[in-house]
Amino acid sequence: MGAHYLATGFGWNLIRDIQAQFQYAFMQHAYTAGAIVAIVAGVVGYFVVLRSLSFAGHALSHIGFAGATGAVALGVNPIYGLLVFTIGGAVGMGALGKRIYGRDVVIGIVLAWMLGLGVLFLSLYSGYATEAYALLFGEILGISQTDVVVTLAAGMVTLAAIAIMFRPLLFASVDSDVAEARGVPVRLLSILFMVVLAISVSEAVQVVGVLLIFALLVTPPAIAERLTARPGMAIALSVLLALLFTWVGLFVSFYLPYPVSFFITTLAFTTYLVVRLCIYFRQRFTKLSPA
């Protein structure tokens, strides 16, 4: 990971720093792909938190891991393995509909086995360690131009899908009984959303890896929902935060010999902590002040 700890040092002229970073193609790709992933994760993540699917999202990333390593063992680009397995898992979970709640034990068992399978597939492939690392923790600095194009295409598909489903999905997510009675196709939306989630997870794995999906998919919307109850605002905030964490994490990692995903997750976690503390103290303070 010392590879990107370069001689060009950090200076307080941020514009110059960014220009210096953009000299390198891999940094351009990283910022672009990172931005796309962050925007998608911010939008999709809002619904993940709303529908209480964070564990399902987590499970999908592990299922994807088995798919990706299987693909690598077969000599195929891992993103295809990721997509096939996550979409398969998504359809299965989406078909469960509301019955998915309370099934976290079953999901956990499947997820653990998927990781085991992934380890097996990795051992069949000679480039064991780096491949494993990249899939588990993300290798945003290893993104090629083709990867950026694929990420952009997948990103646009997911955002278009969410835009089309937006109102019925929101309705079904907060009020599924009434929505169903009104004629909203709740089961179909459940499956479609899980597929959208699968694609977003597959994308996000490139940036933060399988184990750290939560940092982009769950933490930003979780922060947003503490700050506003308006759906439009919450999504915008969620996207902004995800973008901030990704870009700042990238920027900082250029100068320090530590993994990008560490910075991203730390920024996310710290922000979450600070927001919660602020809210807590503000409540305490307003209770203490005279009425």
Partner 1 sequence: MIDNQLAEKEITGIPEKKPRELTVSLQDAAVQLDNHQIWNNADINVEQGEFIAVVGPNGSGKSTLFRVLLGMQPLSQGQVHVLGEIPHRGNQAIGYVPQRRSFDPDVPIRGSDLVMLGLEGLNWGFALPGPAQHRRRQLVEESLKAVEATAYADRPIGKLSGGEQQRLVLAQALVSNPRLLLLDEPLANLDLRNQIAITQLVARLARANAATVLLVTHDINPLLPVVDRVIYIAKGKMVIGKPEEVITTSTLSRLYDAPVQVVKDINGRLFVVGLEQETAHPHEHDEH
Q: 174 vs 278, which CB is nearer to partner 1?
A: 174
Using the rule CB under 8 A, which residue among 42, 70, 168, 259 binds partner 1?
Answer: 168
Interacting residues of 120 by C-beta distance below 8 A, sequence separation 6+: none
Which 49-68 positions form the footprint of partner 1 (CB under 8 A)?
A: 50
Token pair for residue 268?
A: 């996310």
The Cα–Cα gap between 179 and 54 comes to 22
Q: 149 vs 279, which CB is nearer to partner 1?
A: 279
Q: 46 vs 251, which CB is nearer to partner 1?
A: 46
Q: Does 105 bind partner 1 (CB under 8 A)?
A: no
Q: 4 vs 187, which CB is nearer to partner 1?
A: 187
From residue 12 to residue 51, what is the string marking binding to partner 1 with x (rule CB under 8 A)? --------------------------------------x-
CB of 226 to partner 1, least distance (A): 8
289 phi/psi in degrees, rounded to 5: -70, 150
Q: 189 vs 212, which CB is nearer to partner 1?
A: 189
Which part of the chain contacts partner 1 (CB under 8 A), choosing from 20-28, 104-112, 162-170, 208-216?
162-170
- Which string of DSSP letters, residue by residue, matches the chain? -GGG--SS---S-HHHHHHHHHTSHHHHHHHHHHHHHHHHHHHHHHHHHHTT-HHHHHHHHHHHHHHHHHHHHTTS-HHHHHHHHHHHHHHHHHHHGGGGTT-HHHHHHHHHHHHHHHHHHHHTSS-HHHHHHHHHH--GGG--HHHHHHHHHHHHHHHHHHHHHHHHHHHHHH-HHHHHHTT--HHHHHHHHHHHHHHHHHHHHHHHTGGGHHHHHTHHHHHHHHH---HHHHHHHHHHHHHHHHHHHHHHHTTSSS-HHHHHHHHHHHHHHHHHHHHHHHHHHHHHS--
Which 169-198 positions form the footprint of partner 1 (CB under 8 A)?
A: 170-171, 174-175, 177-184
CB of 177 to partner 1, least distance (A): 4
Q: 43 vs 134, which CB is nearer to partner 1?
A: 43
Q: 109 vs 279, which CB is nearer to partner 1?
A: 279
CB of 242 to partner 1, least distance (A): 16
Which part of the chain contacts partner 1 (CB under 8 A), choosing from 13-21, 201-209, 229-237, 283-291?
229-237
Which 116-155 positions form the footprint of partner 1 (CB under 8 A)?
A: none
Q: Does 229 bind partner 1 (CB under 8 A)?
A: yes
Q: 234 vs 264, which CB is nearer to partner 1?
A: 234
Cα 153 to Cα 148, 157, 189, 201, distances in angstroms:
9, 6, 22, 14
What number of chain residues touch partner 1 (CB under 8 A)? 27
* Binding interface with partner 1 (CB under 8 A): 50, 163-168, 170-171, 174-175, 177-184, 224-226, 228-231, 234
